[in-house]
Structure 1
Amino acid sequence: MTIEVHPVDASRWADLEELFGGSGGYDGCWCMFWRLPNKELNANGPEANRQALHDLVHTGAQVGLVAYVGGAPAGWCSTGPRPGYARIERTKALKPDDPTDPRIWSIPCFYVGKEHRGRGVARALLDAAVARAAEAGATMLEGYPVANPKGAGAALSTGTVDLFTAAGFTVGGDQPASGRRVVTRRAL
C-alpha cells in the first residue's frame, strides 16, 4: 500500500471535508479542539468549527497534513507552530515553559478514516510532520499522546506513546498523575 502525504492548503480543502465527513472528524471538532478555548469550541458547534478550520486553511497557514491511499484522502494530522494551539498552554499537564516560541512545532491530533486504521497511515503522517517541521526551520517537534490507550476512545486522536517513540521521540518531563497524556519531543 502506497501512502502519499501533502500539506493541506486551499486546493486540498475538499479532500479534508471528504475525510472528516458529516461528523467533522471527532464529534464535530473539525480539529479545532487544540486551537480554541473550551468556551469558544463548545459555543461554535460543528458548522462554526468547520468554518474556522476552512478559514485557517484558506489563509495559507501551516495547519496540517493529509494522507492519501489510492488517491483518496485517508488521514490527517494537525501540525504547525505550537503558538497556534492555545489549549496546550492552558493545559496544566502540558503547559510549556516557552509557549510562544514559533520554532517549536506541535502535533496535537490525528484522524485516520476507519477503513485505513492500523495500516500505517498515522506513522506516515508523523514521519511527514517531522520532515515538514524541519523544512520550515522548527527546532523541536512535540506530540501529546495517550500513555494508556486501553479504553481511550477519541482520546487516541493524539496518537500513542509507541507511535511517537518508534519515530524517534522521547517522553519528557513530569508526566500527569493520570498517566493518560504525556509530552513527547524530538529535536530537529
Structure 2
Amino acid sequence: MSIEVRAASVFADVRKVIGPKSPTATVCWCLSHRIPAKLDHELRGPDRGAYVERLCRADPAPGVLAYDGGEPVGWAAVAPRATTSYARSRVIPHLDDLPVWSLWCIRIRPGHRGQGISHALITGAVEFARAHGAPVLEAYPVDNGTARVETTMAYVGMRANFERVGFVHAADTTSVLAGHPRILMRRDLRG
C-alpha cells in the first residue's frame, strides 16, 4: 500500500469519502465546525454538497485527501482556526495570538481502516498547513489512553496518533466526546 496525500481540490473524490450515499441526505460534509451555525442549519441536502464543491475550488482547499493507488480513502479537515467555530469556542482554549491552523476531522473509508492512513493524513495536513504559511497546527483529539473509541466518534482523532507524528499536549480542554476528555495538541511548523 502506497498512500499519497494531496489537497482536497477534487470534489468527486471528497464526495466519495465524506459525502452521503444519497445526494438528498443532510449529513455533516465536515461543515459543522467550518461555517457559522446558522448557515450549517440552513444548508439542507444537495445544498451542503454544493457548498463543499465551492470550497474544493478555493485556495486553500478545505483539507487533504489520502489516496491508495489513485482511490480516495481518507479525509482530514484543516483550515485557519480563525475561519472555524473553534475561533469562538468556550471549551477549546486559545493559547496565544499566533494565527494557528486547526485539524479537527479525520475520516477513513470503511475497508481501509487500521492501515495507518490516519497517520498519513495527519502528516499530510501538517505539510499542507506549513505550505500555506501556518506557524502552528492544532488538533483536538480524545485522550482515550488504551480505551476503544466508537468509530462514529473517532473523527476527532486520538492522542496517540498525533503524538506519533510530532504533536505535543499543549492544554487540557473542557470538551468531552464519547466519554473521553479532549485535549489540545500542537505541532510547531516554524523552522
SS at match of 2:182: coil
Q: 1:34 to 1:177 in 2, by over 3 A?
A: closer
* One-letter amino acid of the structure 2 residue matched with residue 42 of structure 1: H
SS at match of 2:31: coil
CA distance in 1, matches of 2:120, 2:171: 26
CA distance in 2, matches of 1:21, 1:89: 25
Q: 1:97 to 1:168 in 2, by over 3 A?
A: closer
The aligned counterpart of 2:91 is: 93
The aligned counterpart of 1:130 is: 126
Moved over 3 A (4+): 149-153
- Higher helix proportion: 1
Query: Taking structure 1 as the reference length, what is the TM-score of the superposition?
Result: 0.85
1:5 aligns with 2:1: no
The aligned counterpart of 2:14 is: 16
SS at match of 1:180: strand
Q: 1:38 to 1:69 in 2, by over 3 A?
A: same
SS at match of 2:14: helix
The aligned counterpart of 1:184 is: 185
Q: Which runs of 5+ in 1 are unaligned?
A: none
- Using the TM superposition, name which of 155-164 and 178-187 deviates more: 178-187
What's the RMSD between the two structures over aligned residues?
2.3
Preserved CA contact (<8 Å) 1:89 1:95: no
1:146 aligns with 2:147: no
1:105 aligns with 2:101: yes
CA distance in 2, matches of 1:28, 1:123: 25
CA distance in 2, matches of 1:95, 1:51: 32
- In the TM superposition, 1:138-177 aligns within 5 A as 138-148=134-144, 150-176=148-174
1:115 aligns with 2:111: yes
- Higher strand proportion: 2
Give the number of equivalent residue pairs: 182
Q: Which runs of 5+ in 2 are unaligned?
A: none
Preserved CA contact (<8 Å) 1:4 1:69: yes
